[in-house]
């Protein structure tokens, strides 16, 4: 089929509900009709390069959620408690470990918003990825509909040829039954 026919089929299929389509759906329809690729790298859609703060937030999140952090955290706390418990000449943070609790509270107070910033960036990325997936799925659906129409058209043409051949064969059989030579169809 030529491009004009494909364009006519695609637009005919969606003309009835064109006004109901969102801007994104219209964009995908144009991409299908014009044979543009909806598939593209997601990172190209995201805003420019990450700032220093964003990269730092991602790094803190990655490290704060790792086994290395948990192991280091346990080692520091255990060392702190052992040193302060075993010091005979006046520990710098005696048993209730108030200084340790203050340090841990400060760590949690700083680490939580940094992790939330990183998760916010990840949510933006996931939202863009979901939008892209939707566009690709919509394009695939439109192309499947177009393939169905092409198959239906081929089936109709084939049925027309079969009917034509049957008619010619019937005429040939009838002429043989009458004893007249078949015509040159």
CA dihedral 169, 172, 177, 178 (to 10 degrees): 150
Does position 92 have pLDDT exceeding 80, yes or no? yes
pLDDT number for residue 34: 65
Does position 86 have pLDDT exceeding 50, yes or no? yes
pLDDT tens per residue, range 121-148:
899 989 999 988 988 888 888 889 889 9
pLDDT number for residue 179: 84
Q: Where along the chain do its domains lie?
A: 3-178
CA-angle at 17, arms to 13 and 19, nearest 5°: 130
More confident residue, 167 or 20: 167
Kindly report the number of other CB atoms within 10 A of residue 115's CB atom: 17
- Which of the four pLDDT bands, split at 50, 70 and 90, describes residue 165? very high
The overall average pLDDT reported for the chain is 83
Buried b (16+ CB within 10 A) or exposed e, 34-60: eeeebeeeeeeeeeeeeeeeeeebbeb
Does position 1 have pLDDT exceeding 50, yes or no? no
Query: What is the share, in percent, of the chain residues with pLDDT greater than 90?
Result: 42
pLDDT number for residue 11: 61
- Greatest alpha-carbon pair distance for the chain in Å reads 130
């Amino acid at each position: 089929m030529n491009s004009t026919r494909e364009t006519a089929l695609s637009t005919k299929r969606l003309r009835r509900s064109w006004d109901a389509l969102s801007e994104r759906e219209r964009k995908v329809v144009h991409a299908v009709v014009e044979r543009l690729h909806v598939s593209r790298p997601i990172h190209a859609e995201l805003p420019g390069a990450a700032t220093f703060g964003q990269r730092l937030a991602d790094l803190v999140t990655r490290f704060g959620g790792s086994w290395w952090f948990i192991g280091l955290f346990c080692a520091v706390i255990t060392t702190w408690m052992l040193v302060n418990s075993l010091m005979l000449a006046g520990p710098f943070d005696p048993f209730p470990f108030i200084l340790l609790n203050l340090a841990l509270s400060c760590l949690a107070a700083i680490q939580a918003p940094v992790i939330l910033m990183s998760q916010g960036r990840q949510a933006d990325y996931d939202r863009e990825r979901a939008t892209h997936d939707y566009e690709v799925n919509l394009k695939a659906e439109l192309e499947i509909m177009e393939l169905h129409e092409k198959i239906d058209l081929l089936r109709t043409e084939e049925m027309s040829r079969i009917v034509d051949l049957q008619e010619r064969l019937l005429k040939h059989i009838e002429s043989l039954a009458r004893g007249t030579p078949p015509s040159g169809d």
